[in-house]
């Protein structure tokens, strides 16, 4: 169920790593717990993130939840399409990215979970 090429956080974000950049979204488990997503608030390009700290919020019909940075670094791109189509997180959570980050400390990635570990965490 969880793509093996992605890494995962215990806070239910996923990361796709390409060199010194990471692309971040939320997992199927997270969107399932949230229900219908109606709004996503993301940081601006240039925002400096600290691993484990909030970088935005996601709002559903059930709740508002914080999004946590899976790694430290600088935001280099933001998925602005989520302003008009926040529900795309529900229909394709592992294909819908939120932010792209230039990694500040590649060592942060060692704390992320592989798909089997994440799946164990969510069951």
Domain boundaries, the chain: 7-106
The CATH class of 7-106 is: mainly beta
For 21-76, write each residue's pLDDT tens digit: 999 999 999 999 999 999 999 999 999 999 999 999 999 999 999 999 999 999 99
Matching residue, tokens 């399932």: 32
pTM confidence score: 0.96
Spell out the residues 6+ positions from residue 91 whose beta carbon is closer than 8 angstroms to its own: none
């Amino acid at each position: 169920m969880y793509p093996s090429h992605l890494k995962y956080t215990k806070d239910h974000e996923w990361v796709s790593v390409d060199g010194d950049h990471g692309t971040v979204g939320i997992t199927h488990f997270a969107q399932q717990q949230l229900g219908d997503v109606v709004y996503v608030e993301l940081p601006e390009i240039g925002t400096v993130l600290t691993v484990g700290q909030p970088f935005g919020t996601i709002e559903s019909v059930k709740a508002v939840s914080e999004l946590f940075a899976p790694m430290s670094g600088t935001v280099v791109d933001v998925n602005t399409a989520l302003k008009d189509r926040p529900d795309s997180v529900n229909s394709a959570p592992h294909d819908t990215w939120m932010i792209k980050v230039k990694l500040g400390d590649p060592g942060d990635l060692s704390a992320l979970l592989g798909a089997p570990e994440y799946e164990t965490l969510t069951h």
